[in-house]
């Protein structure tokens, strides 16, 4: 073999793929979170009686204290803020995005956790850590992450 | 402290390559196994127990552990597959030997990354299916979020991360095993294609194919087997995990590395890692990870890793050489095998057989692994010549 193989495809091989389909149960906490999202456009947080943190997304238990969260589950109020962000240039299919997309980790004051979502209506180079943002809701909501279309800079009231 | 010490007494490996179209992954493992047994001066039927590190989705086979024994000489022997990084698998093997019931043990790691047609889909499938995965982002966004948070919290810079990538690829020029040696500057990295800003193409380790097999023995058994070569002792080993929920993480910290470092240091009696560790191979799947891991492991003060890098402290001639092998950026990222590749470099250095890149007079080396995005799992091994 004097000629080096440069491409995997030049060697003998077979290909294989498997379509994998699953169901994922939202669970008690997920069901309650997504119903509030769908029906009231609210982001519910569940309080931990031990560390006093309010968890978003809400959970039935606090992973740090290993105790059950308690009532009441209240909606987060006001604008969120950008805890970190990245400007993404590639799709899941490894194709260059025609327009780079800002993906942000968004938190709220007094809340532990937050949501990952896209940030729009702002030029990527204008996004800053700590920037105040609020959700833009889908007109038709089904109780899923897609009920939030994206986040955008919070409007000054 | 360990009950009885365990030593690495044999190592076999294939060179790492971007693609390996003419050999199957099982044939690569066979090559590494034959070399490891020859290196240790044993036959596979002397071995009591085997561990393989592998992930079904990366191998493209469900229940992939069923495919392990044949090419290792492990047929009709106890074999266990650890679905985790190489050093976590090594820890499991050390614990088996610590029972005192087994004499010789073997660990295998492999990567046939070039056969994974859509690696991003596998990483995306590891994301939370309800809150994170439906957004269908390229999973590199997790590293982008982390990198920005890390740089902002510590004061390390994008240019210092870029320098990690340039220096490691340059170190790989002296490593015949490496798949991606290159002469490049930090500027080349900074101006490479943006991926998940601040992360750029040059900050990301490309994947490689290869196989590594290591033979382990208890200290009391070393004489019995007339084992060739110089044993390298595993004086400390530790592992850790933070949380699968990205929103729960302190995005700037590598808590798994802090935990696993503490555990391994305690076992090895290390109280001042920066002065007691002679050299280290730390995970650099992404350039910033090397800086983050060095700080998490106490090998640099918080916020100082980038500055020490610029001063040459982590260079081959510096006070604490880091990734003299070229790291994953220079050698290629090899999935579950990656941690074993770091261990292999430490073994070669401590044996004094690292060739052109041999560090003079090294006695204690550290290898650290991370399981890759989107995980917060990792492990640390502290190895010594005595
Ligand atoms: Zn709590």
Q: Which domain holds residue A66?
A: 27-156
Alpha helical stretches, state H, chain B: 25-40, 56-59, 86-98, 119-125, 140-154, 158-171, 186-190, 255-268, 273-276, 287-296, 305-310, 327-331, 338-351
User: B304: CA distance to ligand 1 center in Å?
Assistant: 33
A15 part of a folded domain: no
Inter-chain residue contact B134 with A13, CB threshold 8 Å:
no
B273 part of a folded domain: no
B108 part of a folded domain: yes
pLDDT digits (tens, 9 = 90+) for A76-115: 999 999 999 999 999 999 999 999 999 999 999 999 999 9
B159 part of a folded domain: no
- Supply the pLDDT for residue A12: 82
- Supply the pLDDT for residue B60: 93
Inter-chain residue contact B146 with A85, CB threshold 8 Å:
no
Inter-chain residue contact A103 with B137, CB threshold 8 Å:
yes
Model ipTM value: 0.94
Residue A1 pLDDT level (bands cut at 50, 70, 90): very low
User: DSSP states of A26-72 as a string?
Assistant: -HHHHHHHHHHHHHH---EEEE-TTT--EEES--SEETTTTEE--SP
- Count residue pairs from A and B with Cβ separation < 8 A: 124
B286 part of a folded domain: no
**Closest Cβ opposite residue B141 in set A5, A86, A144:** A86
Q: What percent of chain A has pLDDT over 70?
A: 92
**Closest Cβ opposite residue B197 in set A20, A22, A86:** A86
Residue A3 has pLDDT above 60, yes or no: no
Contacting residues of B for A92, CB less than 8 Å apart = 120-121, 124, 136-139
Are B210 and B335 a contacting pair, CB within 8 Å?
Answer: no
Provide the CATH number for the domain around residue A46.
Answer: 2.40.50.140
How deeply is A93 buried, as exposed, middle or buried, from its count of CB atoms within 10 A (0-12, 13-18, 19+)? exposed
B217 part of a folded domain: yes
Task: Please give the distance of CA B192 from its chain centroid, rounded to a whole number.
Answer: 25
B19: helix, strand or coil = coil
A93 part of a folded domain: yes
Based on the structure, what is the number of domains in chain B? 1
- Supply the pLDDT for residue A9: 65
Are B336 and B314 a contacting pair, CB within 8 Å?
Answer: no
Distance CA(A36)–CA(B226), nearest Å, equals: 69
Q: Is the pTM of this model over 0.80?
A: yes
Nearest CA in chain A to B21: A8
- Supply the pLDDT for residue B3: 78
Provide the CATH number for the domain around residue B37.
Answer: 3.40.47.10
Cα–Cα separations (whole angstroms), residue B221 to B1, B10, B99: 19, 14, 14
Tens digit of each residue's pLDDT, chain B (386 residues) = 567 899 999 999 999 999 999 999 999 999 999 999 999 999 999 999 999 999 999 999 999 888 989 999 999 999 999 999 999 999 999 999 999 999 999 999 999 999 999 999 999 999 999 999 999 999 999 999 999 999 999 999 999 999 999 999 999 999 999 999 999 999 999 999 999 999 999 999 999 999 999 999 999 999 888 887 789 999 999 999 999 999 999 999 999 999 999 999 999 999 999 999 999 999 999 999 999 999 999 999 999 999 999 999 999 999 999 999 999 999 999 999 999 999 999 999 999 999 999 999 999 999 999 999 999 999 999 999 99
B189 part of a folded domain: no
Q: Which domain holds residue B75?
A: 6-117+207-221
More confident residue, A35 or A19: A35
- Residue B82: how many other CB atoms lie within 10 Å: 21
Are B68 and B81 a contacting pair, CB within 8 Å?
Answer: yes
Residue A8 pLDDT level (bands cut at 50, 70, 90): low
- B59, B117, B124, B135: best to mutate for the A interface, most A CBs within 10 A: B135
Based on the structure, what is the number of domains in chain A? 1
- Residue A25: how many other CB atoms lie within 10 Å: 9
Distance CA(B379)–CA(B240), nearest Å, equals: 6
């Amino acid at each position: 073999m004097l000629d080096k193989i440069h491409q995997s495809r030049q060697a003998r091989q077979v290909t294989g793929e498997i379509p994998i389909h699953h169901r994922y149960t939202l669970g008690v906490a997920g069901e309650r979170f997504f119903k509030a999202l769908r029906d009231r456009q609210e982001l519910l947080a569940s309080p931990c009686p031990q560390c006093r943190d309010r968890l978003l997304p809400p959970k039935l238990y606090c992973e740090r204290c290993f105790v059950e969260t308690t009532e009441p589950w209240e909606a987060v109020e006001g604008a969120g803020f950008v805890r970190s962000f990245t400007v993404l240039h590639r799709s899941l299919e490894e194709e260059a995005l025609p327009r780079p997309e800002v993906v942000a980790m968004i938190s709220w004051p007094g809340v532990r956790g937050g949501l990952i979502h896209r940030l729009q209506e702002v030029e990527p180079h204008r996004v800053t850590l700590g920037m105040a943002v609020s959700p833009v809701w889908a007109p038709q909501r089904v109780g899923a992450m897609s009920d939030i279309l994206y986040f955008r800079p919070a409007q000054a009231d | 402290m360990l009950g009885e010490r365990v030593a690495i007494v044999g190592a076999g490996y294939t060179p790492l390559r971007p693609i390996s179209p003419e050999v199957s992954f099982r044939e690569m493992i066979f090559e590494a196994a034959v070399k490891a047994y020859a290196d240790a001066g044993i036959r596979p039927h002397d071995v009591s127990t085997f561990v393989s590190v592998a992930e079904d989705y990366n191998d493209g086979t469900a229940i992939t552990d069923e495919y392990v024994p044949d090419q290792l000489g492990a047929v009709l022997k106890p074999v266990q597959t650890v679905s985790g990084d190489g050093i976590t698998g090594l820890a499991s093997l050390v614990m088996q030997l610590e029972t005192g019931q087994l004499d010789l043990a073997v660990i295998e790691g492999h990567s046939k990354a070039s056969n994974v047609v859509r690696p991003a889909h596998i990483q995306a499938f590891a994301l939370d299916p309800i809150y994170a995965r439906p957004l269908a982002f390229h999973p590199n966004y997790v590293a982008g979020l982390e990198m920005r948070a890390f740089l902002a919290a510590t004061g390390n810079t994008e240019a210092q991360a870029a320098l990690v990538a340039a220096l490691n690829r340059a170190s790989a020029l002296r490593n015949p095993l490496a798949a991606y040696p290159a002469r490049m500057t930090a500027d080349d990295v900074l101006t490479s294609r943006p991926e998940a800003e601040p992360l750029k193409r040059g900050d990301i380790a490309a994947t490689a194919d290869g196989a590594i097999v290591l033979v382990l023995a208890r200290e009391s058994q070393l004489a019995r087997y007339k084992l060739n070569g110089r044993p390298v002792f595993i004086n400390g080993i530790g592992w850790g995990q933070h949380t699968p929920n990205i929103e729960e993480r302190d995005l700037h910290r590598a808590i798994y590395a802090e935990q696993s470092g503490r555990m391994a240091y305690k076992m090895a009696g290390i109280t001042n890692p920066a002065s007691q560790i002679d050299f280290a191979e730390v995970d650099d799947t992404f350039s910033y990870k090397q800086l983050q891991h060095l700080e998490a492991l106490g090998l640099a003060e918080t916020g100082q890793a980038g500055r020490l890098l610029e001063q040459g402290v982590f260079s081959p001639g510096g006070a604490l050489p880091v990734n003299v092998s070229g790291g994953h950026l220079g050698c290629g990222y090899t999935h579950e095998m990656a941690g074993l590749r770091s261990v292999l470099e430490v073994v070669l250095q401590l044996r004094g057989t690292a060739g052109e890149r041999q560090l003079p007079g090294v006695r204690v080396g550290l290898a650290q692994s991370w399981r890759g995005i989107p995980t917060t799992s990792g492990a640390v091994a502290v190895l010594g010549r005595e």
